[in-house]
């Protein structure tokens, strides 16, 4: 164990969440630069057209400029080995974000200083809270006009319901952005705009209260800063690492990712505050990452990541011990010993074969169609399971029709594979066979992804007819004849892939109607 204890201790695995355009990609790029993982900033993202080049792979993402799938990036910084999990910025993919967060030990929330808490931040943040992990806030774009700093903090506290503790404090913003005051060291790092219009980092450190500060940031700014800090010291929550680790308090950092200002300070503080992989709950109690041999769980499945390969990759998060290429493991849910073939690590759009990995790391393994999301892998002589990953209830439904009915086989293959990835859920009406399939999604953009992927990956063109249903309930009662249930006329009776009956409702009140009309009927929001 000792030989890899240090490897696990130095791991930091986190996800970055943000409303689109808040600066997640730019921040990721700057973090990678510190680790020397890429040489040129432009190789992550250059011109607008090449946006999201590193973390995204699907055409649809490029077209829409949103990040649909999550990818993983690993780099070393000082003594740390960092795994960054990218998440989709759009709320329609919050289920994907949730799964990614299952694989993360903490989250970084990027907020645009001029916009504050935006609607998609709220939805993604809620997902973070469900996971109970530490959340760190990076308030970005201080080089642009920003909202009042206290207002920003208030917004985080009142809208997101988490207490804030600013670790540093901005001095002005936009044209008047002078730098950042570090509350701990009580020192100022000055921000300078370079002459050619491009802003560059140049920092000078002096102590607040010093006469030099007047020269450095101007007397007015010095006065305002002193006042703000006094107010802040009296009003803000004290830093308390336990509260941070419980997800009750978020340390807040200010900066500008684009100009690389405040990013390294953020990274250093963040790394010292967040933890290495912690023990995880399993069916046999907590599994300690260091004192146990290899174990992992599947948090994401993705088919056709690479057109040339047409393969299916299961992403696994290592929870304990060490992984070595070719090792035999027990796939607990499949009750089968398997050898993990071609373990891969995804770095940007390249893949490389990994020889070793440790608790905290994420690797992709070839999936011959045996894995489901949430499955556990452990040593051949063990068979514990990690808690499963719940699925979100779909909120939008559509009927899917093929344009060319000759391509039935490809259609069924495509739609069931995409359903296995967990991106969509599919249902069938009673008495219609597989001719008509109803698809349920959490966010409407997933319909676009489905349509696109069926066409480009499986060569099947489909039409989607939107359905008015918004609520889904599985019928819990065993051996019930669904046809005998009395429901409102706008309620639809369908079954899932396993044949479990369920009801789709247009209005919330129709759920009550069904319960009122059918004595003993038991409904559940989640499938079995």
- Between the alpha carbon of residue 104 and those of residues 85, 316, 359, the distances in Å are 7, 11, 11
Q: State the nearest-atom distance from the C-beta of 260 to ligand GDP, in Å.
A: 9
143 is in an annotated binding site: yes
How many Å apart are CA 61 and CA 365, to the nearest integer? 24
Nearer to ligand GDP, 67 or 402 (CB): 67
140 is in an annotated binding site: yes
23 is in an annotated binding site: yes
Which candidate, 337, 265, 275, 340, places its Cα nearest to that of 31? 265
63 is in an annotated binding site: no
Nearer to ligand GDP, 136 or 469 (CB): 136
308 is in an annotated binding site: no
Q: State the nearest-atom distance from the C-beta of 445 to ligand GDP, in Å.
A: 15
At 524 the three-state DSSP class reads: strand
Nearer to ligand GDP, 141 or 183 (CB): 141
19 is in an annotated binding site: yes
126 is in an annotated binding site: no
CB atoms within 10 A of CB 308: 5
Burial 39-60 (b: 16+ CB within 10 A, else e): eeeebbbeeeeebbbbbbbbeb
Q: State the nearest-atom distance from the C-beta of 37 to ligand GDP, in Å.
A: 17
* Residue 248 DSSP class: S
Nearer to ligand GDP, 59 or 214 (CB): 59
390 is in an annotated binding site: no
How many Å apart are CA 104 and CA 14, to the nearest integer? 5
Q: State the nearest-atom distance from the C-beta of 67 to ligand GDP, in Å.
A: 7
How many Å apart are CA 349 and CA 181, to the nearest integer? 38
In 337-463, alpha helices (H):
408-420, 445-458
Q: State the nearest-atom distance from the C-beta of 247 to ligand GDP, in Å.
A: 22
Nearer to ligand GDP, 41 or 379 (CB): 41
Nearer to ligand GDP, 144 or 401 (CB): 144
Which candidate, 480, 485, 496, 489, places its Cα nearest to that of 510? 489
Q: State the nearest-atom distance from the C-beta of 144 to ligand GDP, in Å.
A: 5
Summarize as ranges the residues that interact with ligand GDP (CB under 6 A). 18, 20-26, 89, 140-141, 143-144, 256-258
Nearer to ligand GDP, 115 or 383 (CB): 115
20 is in an annotated binding site: yes
Nearer to ligand GDP, 26 or 168 (CB): 26
CB atoms within 10 A of CB 130: 13
Q: State the nearest-atom distance from the C-beta of 214 to ligand GDP, in Å.
A: 27
Place of tokens 């990614």: 100
Name beta bridge partners: 179.
171, 190
Phi, psi of 386 (to 5 degrees): -85, 155
Name beta bridge partners: 182.
168, 187
CB atoms within 10 A of CB 309: 11
Q: State the nearest-atom distance from the C-beta of 69 to ligand GDP, in Å.
A: 14
> What are 40's two structure tokens?
């040129």
233 is in an annotated binding site: no
At 315 the three-state DSSP class reads: strand
147 is in an annotated binding site: no
* Residue 160 DSSP class: I
Q: Are 85 and 16 in contact (CB under 8 A)?
A: yes
Nearer to ligand GDP, 144 or 507 (CB): 144
18 is in an annotated binding site: yes
Burial tier of 361 (Cβ tally within 10 Å: 0-12, 13-18, 19+)? buried
Nearer to ligand GDP, 50 or 223 (CB): 50
Burial 201-224 (b: 16+ CB within 10 A, else e): bebeebebeeeebeebbeeebbee
Q: State the nearest-atom distance from the C-beta of 27 to ligand GDP, in Å.
A: 7
Q: State the nearest-atom distance from the C-beta of 273 to ligand GDP, in Å.
A: 22
How many Å apart are CA 139 and CA 22, to the nearest integer? 9
Annotation: binding site: 18-25, 86-90, 140-143
Residue ranges for the known binding site for GTP are 18-25, 86-90, 140-143
């Amino acid at each position: 164990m000792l030989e890899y204890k240090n490897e696990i201790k130095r791991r930091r695995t986190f996800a970055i969440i943000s409303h689109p355009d808040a600066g997640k990609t730019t921040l990721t790029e700057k973090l990678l630069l510190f680790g020397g993982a890429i040489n040129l900033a432009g190789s992550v993202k250059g011109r607008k057209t090449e946006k999201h080049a590193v973390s995204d792979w699907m055409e649809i993402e490029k077209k829409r400029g949103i990040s649909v799938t999550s990818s993983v990036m690993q780099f070393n910084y000082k003594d740390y080995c960092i795994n960054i999990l990218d998440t989709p910025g759009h709320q329609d993919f919050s289920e994907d974000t949730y799964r990614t967060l299952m694989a993360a030990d903490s989250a970084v929330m990027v907020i645009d200083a001029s916009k504050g808490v935006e609607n998609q931040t709220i939805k993604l943040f809620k997902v973070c809270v469900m996971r109970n992990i530490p959340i760190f806030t990076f308030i970005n774009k201080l080089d642009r006009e920003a909202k009042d700093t206290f207002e920003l903090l208030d917004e985080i506290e009142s809208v997101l319901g988490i207490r804030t503790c600013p670790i540093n404090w901005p001095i002005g913003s936009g044209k008047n952005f002078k730098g950042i005051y570090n509350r701990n060291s009580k020192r100022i790092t000055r921000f300078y705009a370079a002459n050619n219009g491009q802003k560059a980092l140049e920092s000078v450190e002096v102590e607040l209260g010093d006469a030099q500060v007047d020269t450095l940031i101007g007397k007015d700014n010095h006065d305002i800063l002193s006042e703000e800090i006094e107010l802040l010291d009296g009003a803000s929550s004290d830093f308390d690492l336990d509260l941070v680790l419980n997800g009750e308090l978020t340390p807040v950092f200010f900066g500008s990712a684009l100009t690389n200002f405040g990013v390294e300070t953020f990274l250093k503080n963040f790394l010292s505050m967040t933890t290495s992989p912690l023990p995880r709950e399993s069916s046999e109690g907590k599994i300690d990452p260091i004192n146990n041999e290899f174990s992992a769980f599947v948090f994401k499945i993705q088919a056709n990541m690479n057109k040339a390969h047409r393969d299916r990759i299961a992403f696994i998060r290592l929870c304990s011990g060490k992984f070595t290429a070719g090792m035999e493991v027990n796939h607990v849910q499949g009750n089968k010993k398997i050898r993990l073939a071609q373990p891969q690590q995804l770095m940007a759009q390249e893949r490389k074969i990994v020889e070793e990995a440790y608790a905290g790391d994420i690797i992709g393994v070839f999936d011959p169609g045996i894995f489901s999301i949430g499955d556990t892998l452990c040593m051949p002589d063990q068979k514990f399971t990690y808690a499963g990953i719940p699925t979100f209830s779909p909120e939008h439904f559509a009927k899917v029709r093929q344009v060319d009915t000759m391509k039935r086989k490809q259609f069924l293959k495509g739609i069931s594979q995409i359903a296995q990835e967990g991106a969509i859920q599919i249902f069938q009406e009673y008495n219609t066979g597989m001719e008509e399939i109803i698809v349920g999604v959490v966010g409407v953009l997933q319909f676009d992804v489905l349509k696109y992927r069926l066409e480009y990956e499986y060569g099947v063109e489909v039409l989607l007819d939107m359905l008015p249903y918004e609520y889904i309930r599985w019928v819990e009662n065993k051996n019930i004849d669904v046809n005998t249930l009395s429901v409102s006329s706008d309620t639809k009776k369908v079954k899932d892939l396993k044949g479990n009956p369920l009801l789709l409702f247009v209005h919330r009140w129709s759920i009550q109607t069904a319960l009122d009309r059918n004595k003993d009927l038991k409904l559940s929001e989640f499938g079995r």
